[in-house]
């Protein structure tokens, strides 16, 4: 039986790699996007042409009600939900004197509140074997450069959230975990960008990850093989936090 997956922020970068991998593994994947409509449609078409199933949904990541409604609609359409991947995220960088309360609130709305809202909606439709997988960041454990205070805080918050949710949902056979990437080669953080070398100098494996490498860890956590893994923060960061 094909699994039903829901991925937030799935049109580009890490999210698109996750959508492709889950679809390639046989899941029917619904994914959200906000501004990248052309990329989302292209991704859904690409997966369909390859024989997979993907649905692109325009949802504002800051709108918890819209996210919940989208999850409820997908679960109703397919009769259940098996996998939730909370990938949508925002990054506001700046000195503490420059960051605004709007930056702070937006970060919390997407990176923390949005994760909780989506999870709360999704687990209402999950049975034993359900999987909740958050895309956090290695910056939850190490922030070695200036300007990342509220981003690091938001990703650290997921640690506590995951540990608590793992306790709540363990008796139902639902696992909850964080995947914590280091630098990943995307449009927003290119491997050849001006900032890349300074990041590589902090790492044991001195390169950006490929989106497919992050997606592989997500696929593992979504699989039956990972039934005993819950409440964990799994770094895939080239030794950034080592």
pLDDT tens column, 182-202: 999 988 788 887 788 899 999
Predicted TM-score of the model (pTM)? 0.97
Whole-angstrom CA distances from 88 to 13, 37, 193, 195, 219 are: 11, 15, 22, 22, 17
Q: Distance between CA atoms of 208 and 185, rounded to whole angstroms?
A: 6
Catalytic residue among 33, 151, 220, 228: 151
The H-or-E segment that residue 116 falls in is: helix 114-123
- For strands 53-58 and 175-181, give the pairing: unpaired
The arithmetic mean of pLDDT across residues 45-49, rounded, is 98
CATH architecture of the domain 4-232 equals 3-Layer(aba) Sandwich (3.40)
pLDDT at 138 over 80: yes
Whole-angstrom CA distances from 78 to 20, 68, 125, 137 are: 19, 16, 11, 31
Percent of the chain with pLDDT over 70: 100
Q: Which of 234, 219, 230 is nearest to 182 (CA)?
A: 234
Q: Is 220 one of the catalytic residues? A: no
pLDDT at 104 over 80: yes
């Amino acid at each position: 039986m094909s699994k039903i997956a829901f991925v937030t922020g799935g049109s580009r970068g890490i999210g698109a790699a996750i959508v492709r991998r889950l679809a390639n593994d046989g899941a029917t994947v619904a994914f959200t996007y906000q501004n990248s409509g052309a990329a989302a449609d292209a991704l859904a078409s690409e997966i369909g042409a390859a024989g997979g199933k993907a649905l692109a949904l325009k949802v504002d990541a800051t709108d918890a009600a819209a996210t919940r409604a989208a999850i409820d609609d997908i679960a109703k359409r397919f009769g259940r939900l098996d996998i939730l991947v909370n990938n949508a995220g925002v990054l506001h960088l700046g000195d503490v004197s420059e960051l605004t309360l709007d930056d702070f609130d937006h970060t919390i709305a997407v990176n923390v509140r949005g994760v909780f809202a989506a999870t709360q909606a999704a687990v209402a439709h999950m049975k034993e074997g359900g999987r909740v997988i958050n895309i956090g960041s290695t910056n939850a454990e190490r922030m070695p450069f200036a300007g990342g205070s509220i981003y690091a805080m938001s990703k650290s918050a997921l640690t506590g959230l995951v540990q608590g949710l793992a306790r709540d949902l363990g008796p139902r056979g639902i696992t909850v975990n964080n995947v914590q990437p280091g630098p990943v080669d995307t449009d927003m953080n290119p491997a050849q960008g001006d900032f890349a070398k300074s990041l590589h100098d902090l790492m044991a494996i001195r390169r950006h990850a490929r989106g497919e490498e992050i997606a592989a860890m997500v696929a593992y956590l979504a699989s039956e093989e990972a039934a005993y893994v819950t409440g964990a923060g799994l770094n895939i960061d080239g030794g950034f936090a080592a």
